[in-house]
Amino acid sequence: MSAALTAVLALAVGWCLGYRAHAREAARRDALRAERAARLHGPHAAAVADEIAVGLQALAEACCDSWFVSAGAEHDPPCTSRWATAVACCPECAVTPGTPCHQNGVALGYAHARRIKEAEVQP
């Protein structure tokens, strides 16, 4: 009788331990599934860093912030002045392209409005 009782108890203990191990394994599998579902799917950090570097390079090469943001459609006033100074003569102060506009012999930090219009008209 004691052998039978020992066998039944051993079977019950073995079953309980096995059940607990199975429950732990199932909980672990569920946790792994939840972790995989929560992860962001997309490019790796190195690819993102490369894209950021390319964007920063493009920003550094842009003539002004407005030009960069508007994809080349607009310019900041100082940028427009630099462009007009580089490509057009100024009818107001009679200077050649590349020479800054001046007033009373003092160079201005911007181009006259007539020079900007002249630059816009040029092909």
How much of the chain is helix, strand and coil, in % rounded to 5? 65, 5, 30
Q: How far apart are CA 93 and CA 103, in angstroms?
A: 7
Segment 6-43, tens digit of pLDDT: 877 777 776 666 667 677 888 889 888 888 887 777 77
Residue 57: the pLDDT is 84
Rg (CA), the chain: 38
Q: Tokens 């459609």 map to which residue?
A: 73
Residue 38: the pLDDT is 79
Segment 34-83, tens digit of pLDDT: 888 877 777 777 888 888 888 888 877 776 777 778 776 777 776 777 87
With 0.75 as the threshold, say if the pTM is over it.
Answer: no
For the chain, the straight-line distance linking the first and the last C-alpha, in angstroms and rounded, comes to 110
Half-sphere exposure (Cβ direction) of 5: Cα atoms closer than 13 Å: 2
